[in-house]
Structure 1
Amino acid sequence: MNIMSLNIRGLGEKHKTDWVGRLRREYKLCLVRIQETKLGESSLLFNPTNCWGDADCNFEQVFTTGRPGGIITIWDSRMFSLVEVIKSRNFIVTLGNFVGINGLTGFVNVYGPQQEREKAKVWDELLAIKLSRSATWIFMGDCNVVRRPDERINSEFCVRSANEFNKFILNGELTDLKMGGQKFTYFKTLGGKLSKLDRFLVCSNFLSVYPLASSFAMKRDLPDHSRIVLRARSEDFGPPPFKFLNSWLVNDKLDGVIKDACSVFRGYGTPNMILLNKLKYLKLAIRN
C-alpha cells in the first residue's frame, strides 16, 4: 500500500495534472488524496482520472465554494472497492474493501478549515463518523493545525486549536504516524513561516496489519506544501510454529511430556532452524 497526500494549490492547469500522474507512477501509488484543488462546479469538464494515467481508477471530489478549497480522492479500482462515501466541505470519507485488509477500510481525505471554531466542528464530525463504523481507519491530508509549539516557526501557536486536535486524536484512538524527511510540510516565503500541517493518522488495526508502515515528507516542488507519502507492507512469516494454551498447565502429565520430548529431540542446521523444528516436535508430542 502506497498512498500520497498533497495540497496542490490549484489543479486546473495541465502541467499540474501531468505532475500528479508522474508521481503516481513513480511511487506506485494505489491512492492519491489531493487538497485545495480550487475546482468549482464550473470545472465539470475537468477529468480527475487524467491525474491517474489510465482507466483503472475511481474518484470522489468536493468542489470549492470559494477561492480556496476543493478536495479529490482518487484510487486504484483494482485495489479498493467503494461501499460508502461521506462528504463535507472539509473532508471526503471513502469506506470500502481494500485488498489485504479484512473488513471495511476507511480512507479520510482532510482539508482543515482556517477558522478556529470551524476546526473543532470538523474534528467532532470526523470522530462521530469513526466511532459509528467498524473499520480500519487512515486519516490524511492538510489538517491546517499543529499539535505542539515546535511544529510551527515564525507564526502564532494556538493552544486551543492544538488541544482540540489532540483531543480528537486521543478520543479517536489514533496514532500520529512518525514522519521522516522534512520536519515541516508547509512553507510561506513571506516571513519565512514553517509549519507541520500535513500528516497521517492511523488506527491500531492498521498498525497490526502493517506494523512496518512509515511516512515521509518530500521536498517541496510546485506547491508550497510538501507531498507526504505513506508506505505500508505486511510481512508474512508463515503460520506460528507453536501455540501454548494456559489450560494445559493444569494437566499433570504435561511436564513429563515436555521433558521426554526435549531429551529425545535431535536438531541439525542453523540455531534458528533447530529451535523452529524443536517447537514443532513439542507441538506434535503434546498433541499426541
Structure 2
Amino acid sequence: MNIAEMDLFKQKLGFRKAEDSPVLGVSGGLAIIWDPRNALFTPIEKRQNWMCGRVNCYNNKLKFNLINVYGPTQNRDKALVWLEIETFFKNNPNEVSIIGGDFNAILKVSDKRGGSNKLSVVAIEFADWINRNSLMEIQTTDNTFTWNNRRKGFNNIAEKLDRFFIFGGLSNFNNTMEAEILPISGSDHYPIQLEILVEQGPKNCPFKFEQMWYKDENILLLEKCWKEEVVSGSKMFIVANKLKIIKRKLLEWNVEHFGNIFERKQLVETKLKAVNTEVLKSGMDEILFLREKTLLKDYEDILAKEEIYWRQKSRESWLKDGDRNTKFFHNNTKLKRCVNRISSIRNS
C-alpha cells in the first residue's frame, strides 16, 4: 500500500493511527494500525522486513511487545532478519512479545504438500532459531496450510508460511489466545488472525440505528410502517409514538430478516473453509472454482456491511451517563431522518 491507500484503509476500518514500512520494489510492506482510544502503541524499532512496538491496552491493562514480520524471499536475507529479532529478544528478556506474520519458511516436512519433500537448510535454521529463543507457537484451530499456489492436480503446492509465536511464555501473558486461518479472499495467502480473549463486564447498549441496514433493500419497510400505523393525538404525540413503533419493528426485522451479521459471516467462512479444504486435498477444479466464486461474492457483501458497522462504531460519540433526554432526542432524530431519506429514495 502507498500512503493514500493506507489512509483510505484506516478510514474504512475506523482506525486513526498507523506505523508502516513501505513497499520496496516487489517486496511487500508492513503496517501496524490501532485505535488510540483503546490502546497506546509506542514504536520501538522499524526495519524493512519487520517492525515492533509496545502495546498498552487501556481496558484490561494488557501489555506486550508486538512484532510484525514479512520474511524475505531470499534465503541469505532470512537468517539476517531472524538474527535482528533475536537481538531484540536479548535486549528485552523480561518482556512478553507476540511475533506474527509471513515468515516465508516452513518448519517440517508436514508443513508442505506438493513439490519437493526434502527439508531445506532454511527450514532447519528456522527451527533452530525458534528453539534457541524458546518461542512457543500458537497453533491454529483449523487448516494446516496458509499459502496455496491455486493450481490444479499435481501442480498444486501448499505450505504453512504464516504463524504466531510467543516470547516470554503464556503463563506471563495470563490470557486465552486463539489463532485462526480465515477464508481466502483474492490472494494466494490465507489471512491469519490472533484473538486475545479477555473477560469484560456487561455493557449498557442503547438503541442505535445501524448504517449497514441501508445495504439491505428490505429497509424500505420503515416507510411502509410509518404510513400504515395510525396514532391519534397531537402532532408531537403522533411522531413520538410512531418512532417507538418503528423502533420495535426495526429491531424485530433485524433479528428475523437481517440476522446477526457476525453469525452470517461465520457461516460463509465455514463454507469457504470447506471449499479450501477440498482445494488443499485435490487442487482447484471448475466446480470448486464456481462454488468459491459465489461464496466470495456473499462474503464481500457481508464484509461491506461489517465495514460500515465498525466505521459507525468508531465514530460514535458517547454521551454522559444520565443524559437520557439528549440520548432520546439523538436516537429518535436519527430514526426520523432515516424515514425521510428512505422516502426520498423511493420517490426518486
> Which TM-score band (shorter chain)?
0.5 to 0.7
Following the alignment from structure 1 to structure 2, what is the Cα–Cα distance between the partners of residues 198 and 83? 24
1:227 is aligned to 2:191: yes
What's the counterpart of residue 181 of structure 1? 142
Matched to 2:134, the amino acid is: E
User: Residue 49 and residue 76 in structure 1: after superposition, are their counterparts in 2 closer, same or farther (change >3 A)?
Assistant: farther
What's the counterpart of residue 144 of structure 1? 104
Matched length: 194
Shift of 1:180: 1.3
User: Residue 167 and residue 49 in structure 1: after superposition, are their counterparts in 2 closer, same or farther (change >3 A)?
Assistant: farther
Secondary structure at 2:193 match in 1: strand
What's the counterpart of residue 67 of structure 1? 26
User: Residue 171 of structure 1: which of 132, 152, 163 is its match?
Assistant: 132
What's the counterpart of residue 155 of structure 1? 115
Higher strand share: 1
Shift of 1:184: 0.5
What's the counterpart of residue 163 of structure 2? 199
User: Residue 132 of structure 1: which of 65, 82, 91 is its match?
Assistant: 91
What's the counterpart of residue 308 of structure 2? none
Shift of 1:175: 0.6
Residues 129-151 of structure 1 show CA distances to partners (whole Å, capped at 9, x for unaligned) of 12202422100111100100110
Following the alignment from structure 1 to structure 2, what is the Cα–Cα distance between the partners of residues 105 and 222? 32
Matched to 1:85, the amino acid is: I
Matched to 1:138, the amino acid is: I
Please report the TM-score for the alignment, with normalisation by the length of structure 2: 0.51
Shift of 1:79: 2.8
Shift of 1:205: 4.2
Residues 215-239 of structure 1 show CA distances to partners (whole Å, capped at 9, x for unaligned) of 1112212211111121222459xxx
User: Residue 129 and residue 160 in structure 1: after superposition, are their counterparts in 2 closer, same or farther (change >3 A)?
Assistant: same
1:45 is aligned to 2:4: yes
Q: CA RMSD in A?
A: 2.3
User: Residue 189 and residue 179 in structure 1: after superposition, are their counterparts in 2 closer, same or farther (change >3 A)?
Assistant: same
Secondary structure at 2:176 match in 1: coil
Following the alignment from structure 2 to structure 1, what is the Cα–Cα distance between the partners of residues 100 and 144? 17
Following the alignment from structure 1 to structure 2, what is the Cα–Cα distance between the partners of residues 203 and 52? 32
Secondary structure at 2:197 match in 1: coil
Following the alignment from structure 2 to structure 1, what is the Cα–Cα distance between the partners of residues 106 and 20? 25
Q: State the 4+ residue runs in structure 1 displaced beyond 6 angstroms.
A: none
Following the alignment from structure 2 to structure 1, what is the Cα–Cα distance between the partners of residues 8 and 52? 19
Shift of 1:213: 1.2
Matched to 1:93, the amino acid is: C
What's the counterpart of residue 46 of structure 2? 87
Shift of 1:67: 1.7
Residues 183-223 of structure 1 show CA distances to partners (whole Å, capped at 9, x for unaligned) of 11100024211000011101344454344311111221221
Please report the TM-score for the alignment, with normalisation by the length of structure 1: 0.61
What's the counterpart of residue 217 of structure 1? 181
Residues 65-110 of structure 1 show CA distances to partners (whole Å, capped at 9, x for unaligned) of 21232111112222321233311111111224234355x5211110
Query: Which segments of 5 or more consecutive residues in structure 1 lack a partner in the other structure?
Result: 1-38, 237-288
What's the counterpart of residue 231 of structure 2? none
Following the alignment from structure 2 to structure 1, what is the Cα–Cα distance between the partners of residues 103 and 41? 24
Secondary structure at 2:141 match in 1: strand
Secondary structure at 1:180 match in 2: coil
Shift of 1:158: 4.1
Matched to 1:219, the amino acid is: P
Matched to 2:97, the amino acid is: W
What's the counterpart of residue 121 of structure 1? 80
User: Residue 71 of structure 2: which of 109, 112, 119 is its match?
Assistant: 112
Higher helix share: 2
Preserved contact between residue 61 and residue 72 of structure 1 (Cα < 8 Å): yes
Matched to 1:188, the amino acid is: N
Following the alignment from structure 2 to structure 1, what is the Cα–Cα distance between the partners of residues 43 and 3? 22
Preserved contact between residue 217 and residue 227 of structure 1 (Cα < 8 Å): yes
